[in-house]
Structure 1
Amino acid sequence: MLELFESLRDFTETGGIVLLFIGGLIFTMWLLILERIIYVNSGHRQFKKHVIATWQARTDRASWNAEQIRQAMVSRVSLKLKYSLPIIQALVALCPLLGLMGTVTGMIQVFDVMALSGGGNARSMAAGVSKATIPTMAGMVGALSGVFASTWLTRTAKTERTHLEDALIMQRQG
């Protein structure tokens, strides 16, 4: 276990302080993603059953008022499904930007070494180059994983809304 922490510390030192921010951002993003996945697989199903049962228990399912109530029910379910999706999407967009900030800080370190050594000492520039590339890689990996999860959650929310609209059938007047 101690070796794991030492490896993590070494990796963080190699990537610079920006890597800690990227790690915190990715951790937060995945906590929100996992919360949404758990909700979709458990809480949403119960809420959907409750909404359908409430609609089926109504005697008036044909009037204009009933249509408005139906739309309100669908909207409530849709809002619950999409609860933290904008935050997740913002965190996904922020990952590569923080990676770019790591690139800039790493390149500043490279230029500082070049200014102090007066030339192209490759060994002394290596630390700056790693501080420039590792945060970029971490930001892109976080963004890619978040894009896939965010897309799945968005598609699932849209599909579930459509299924609920189909389940809440309006009766014909006449």
Structure 2
Amino acid sequence: MTTVTLRPMTPTEFEEWQAMLAEDYAAEQVAAGTWPADGAVQRAREENARLLPEGAATERMLFLRGMDADGEPVGRVWVALDHPRGAPGVAFLFDIEVLEDRRGQGFGRALLAAAEDAARQAGAVALELNVFGKNATARGLYSSSGYEVVTQQMRKAL
């Protein structure tokens, strides 16, 4: 079985990740049809700034780097220990990503399990996340890892 250990992101890793996160999140929102392309990256940056008023020092947030058995990076995770909609005891997985060249080797499942353990150790009794409907790989991982749909938003193009 693939294993992953977690460590806090360094300040440099955090800054690099924030830039990539805004671009990726904006692209997902545009592809999902929820945001117009014009200004999407800036909007993503502003949303993250609201969620992280103290950046990497924002309390009750975990910004973690996943490492393989050889100490090489495999991915990253962002977990909020307080649910954004106030669900008591429920942490929220804002971001999880396996580095592109490490995908398909079991690191996604291992990184998710490590994130769950970190949330549990911090006192959470559940971990919730959102996943875009077109992300079949992620939906499969979450479903096979025991996640259940608690709400669902649907759309039909007209």
Shorter-normalised TM-score: what interval? under 0.3
Q: TM-score, normalised by structure 2?
A: 0.25
Whose helix proportion is higher, 1 or 2? 1
Larger Rg: 1
Q: TM-score, normalised by structure 1?
A: 0.23
**RCO higher in structure (CA 8 A, sep ≥6):** 1
